[in-house]
Amino acid sequence: MTQQQPFDVLGAGSGGYIASIRAGQLGLKVACVEANPYADPKGEPRPGGTCLNVGCIPSKALLSSSEEFENIQKHVLAHGIRVAGATMDVPAMIARKDAIVTKMAQGIEFLFRKNKVTYLKGRATILGRADDGFKVAITRSGPTQELTARNLVIATGSLPRELPGIEVDNVDVCDNAGALDLRSVPRRMAIIGAGVIGLELGSVWRRLGAQVTVVEALPQLLPMCDTDVAREMLKLLTAQGMDFRFGARVTGLERASDGSLGLAYVDAQGIAHAVACDKLVVAVGRVPTTSDLGLETLGVKTTSRGFVDVDAQCRTSVDGVYAIGDVVRGPMLAHKAEDEGVMVMERIAGQAGHVNYDAIPSIIYTSPEVAWVGRTEQELKDAGIAYRTGRFPFTANGRALGNGDTSGFVKVLADEKTDAVLGAHIISTYASEMIGEATMAIEFKASAEDIGRISHAHPTLYEAMREASLAIGTGALNL
Ligand code: FAD
Ligand code: AMP
């Protein structure tokens, strides 16, 4: 491979670090720049972005710890196990989470070295374009470094959306970073936003004993999910003790002299309410990080909502400038960012990288978990696509009975004429693992009959995927 000028990647989150590693594997010369506000204990910027530092990984670590605790408190008795006096050492739980993050951050630095990625710590600002390439300034303490690059990959991710009048201090009023780093269980926690992040963080602290109230602007839970799934999850989460206030317009936050907070909102009828709490979590979505990047110096187009405007191959309006991950359209998911990073580098290397945006799974790591891929029933109806539905409940699954958790179901949607799988929706423990089969089915354009004819090990939870697929055609065997 001929020596080339570095392909700069701005941001070492899920998109940027994976893009850099793939570039290294392809023999491209690449520099990955990371400003990272999430410093390691020595104050060095840490790679991994939102996902590793304050997102996917720490939230799943705490979800796992809190689930263990809840199982011991509420569920192991059904197995005949008596445990008295279990307590949660919150600082130990947080230290475990931090150790996982540190280990994985070190892993990324190792992979950078292994794949000859030049890792540069500092804030990147695009200065412009010269005959020999794009000019990027990298600022940290000390003299500013300047890089010249033949291609740029913008992977600067996203930041929590702020609500006017509600200032996040990550002490009492937290975003995701603060809510993943509390040192004790608050008695009462209010959460603004019943999205994926709000439900996951709320689940952690509810399982540990907090009384959780979720205040949501929309009239319903999880509008992006299949309606059956959203309805069932509302039932299950409410039964677990989460208090939902829908159609709520937040109007302000008051602090009482005893330090407690009062979250004020107006309901759909215009009636004013207040939720008293000790910690407030703001989880109202995320905004792309595009400001102060110097995009305008190159004339890179952004959308009215601040995303970098890209085509299906993540090319921006400027030749040689690409953008991937949370900073562009599409679901804000780590694997989507990674897939785009791989696609872009393979295309730069002259290969045919692609992302199938119809086959990107989504997961909510509550208990039970929610996972889906492809179209929802509403989307198919709206698009006028004729479909058939197969559904199988976990109450009829032997493994679920053995595990002691039969909540949820699998629902498969297939094209009425071709039987091609168009969507799959799961509520269950380990839904996150089971969705892989449906994702592969959609990617390979498999039919529901194909899934029904594939041997599924017994007894397993994923037999429910087969049964739901059979229900579309010849009929489920165990229902
Ligand atoms: P990021 O991970 O945000 O990385 C961008 C990086 O760019 C950052 O490190 C930032 O410091 C750096 N940067 C920004 N500007 C500059 C600059 N000028 N110079 C240099 N560096 C810069 N997704 C999932 O798929 N599964 C999950 O379970 C999941 N859980 C989540 C839980 C929470 C609480 C949150 C908040 C998010 C979660 N996500 C999850 C979403 C996931 O974290 C993001 O989709 C993913 O991190 C996006 O990757 P990215 O590379 O686009 O951006
Ligand atoms: P997500 O985009 O999945 O992170 O979810 C964010 C959630 O916050 C969505 O369900 C939004 O409807 C909700 N939301 C956004 N703004 C507000 C607000 N001002 N008050 C209450 N909920 C909000």
Beta strand extents in 59-194 (DSSP E only): 117-121, 123-130, 133-139, 145-149, 151-154, 158-160, 173-174, 188-192
The pLDDT of residue 4 is 56
Compute the Cα dihedral for 181, 186, 192, 198 and give only its sign: positive
Length of the chain measured in residues: 479
Q: Of these residues, 75, 79, 354, 458, which one is catalytic?
A: 458
Q: What are phi and psi of 114, to 5 degrees?
A: -60, -35
| Res. 90: pLDDT tops 80 | yes
Dihedral of the alpha carbons of 126, 127, 131, 132, in degrees to the nearest 10: -60
The pLDDT tens digits for 402-440 are 999 999 999 999 999 999 999 999 999 999 999 999 999
Position 43 scores a pLDDT of 77
Whether residue 410 contacts residue 391, with contact meaning beta carbons closer than 8 Å, is answered with yes
Cis peptide bond upstream of 368, omega within 30 = yes
Compute the average pLDDT of residues 179-205: 98
Judge whether 439 and 451 are in contact, CB under 8 Å: no
Compute CA distances 313 → 149, 302, 325, 343, whole Å.
20, 16, 12, 7
* Position in ligand 1 atom list of the atom nearest CA 179: 34
Query: Is the distance from CB of 122 to CB of 147 less than 8 angstroms?
Result: no
**Residue whose C-alpha is closest to residue 210's, from 234, 230, 240:** 240
- Residue 211's Cα: distance from chain center in Å? 24
Which ligand 2 atom is the nearest neighbour of the CA of 250?
20
Write down the pLDDT at residue 44. Answer: 80
pLDDT at 217 exceeding the cut of 70: yes
Retrieve residue 272's tokens. 């004013």
Confidence of residue 42 (pLDDT cuts 50, 70, 90): confident
Kindly report the number of other CB atoms within 10 A of residue 273's CB atom. 14
State the SS3 of 37-56: CCECCCCCECCCHHHHHHCH
Of the listed ligands, the closest to the CA of 176 is: 1
Instruction: Please compute Rg for the chain using Cα positions.
Output: 24
- 397 vs 7, which has greater pLDDT? 397
Ligand positioned closest to the Cα atom of 196:
2
For ligand 1, say whether the CB of 314 is within 6 Å of any of its atoms.
Answer: no
Judge if the upstream peptide bond of residue 331 is cis by omega within 30 degrees of 0.
Answer: no
Q: Which atom of ligand 2 is nearest to the CA of 284?
A: 8
CA distances, 28 to each of 2, 133, 165, 410 (Å) = 9, 16, 47, 43
Mean pLDDT value of segment 44-51: 92
> 306-354, pLDDT tens digit by residue?
999 999 999 999 999 999 999 999 999 999 999 999 999 999 999 999 9
45 lines ligand 1 (CB under 6 A): no
Q: Is the CB of 332 under 6 A from ligand 2?
A: no
Measured between alpha carbons, how far is 335 from 333 in angstroms, rounded to an integer? Answer: 6
458 is catalytic: yes
Q: State if pTM tops 0.85.
A: yes
Longest Cα–Cα distance of the chain, Å, equals: 74
Closest residue by Cα to residue 447 from 379, 360, 376, 388: 388
Residue 374 in contact with ligand 2 by CB distance below 6 A: no
**Tens digits of residue pLDDT in 230-246:** 999 999 999 999 999 99
Give pLDDT, residue 2: 40
For residue 48, give the nearest of 15, 95, 77 by alpha carbon. Answer: 15
* d(CA 218, ligand 2 centre) in Å: 8
pLDDT for position 3: 42
Residue 436 Cα to ligand 1 midpoint, Å, equals: 23
Q: Is the dihedral of CA 441, 442, 448, 449 positive or negative?
A: negative
Residue 97, class by beta-carbon neighbours within 10 Å (0-12 exposed, 13-18 middle, 19+ buried)?
buried
Asked whether 326 lines ligand 1 (CB < 6 A), one says yes
Q: How far is the CA of 248 from the centre of ligand 2 (A)?
A: 10
294/316 Cα distance (integer angstroms) = 14
Tell me which residue of 385, 391, 392 sits closest to 406, measured CA to CA.
Answer: 392
- Contact call for residues 68 and 88 (beta carbons, < 8 A): no
For residue 339, the one-letter residue type is D
Closest residue by Cα to atom 50, ligand 1, is 157
In angstroms, rounded to a whole number, what is the distance separating the alpha carbons of residues 470 and 28? 47
d(CA 372, CA 442): 12
- Please work out whether the CB of residue 10 comes within 6 Å of at least one atom of ligand 1: yes
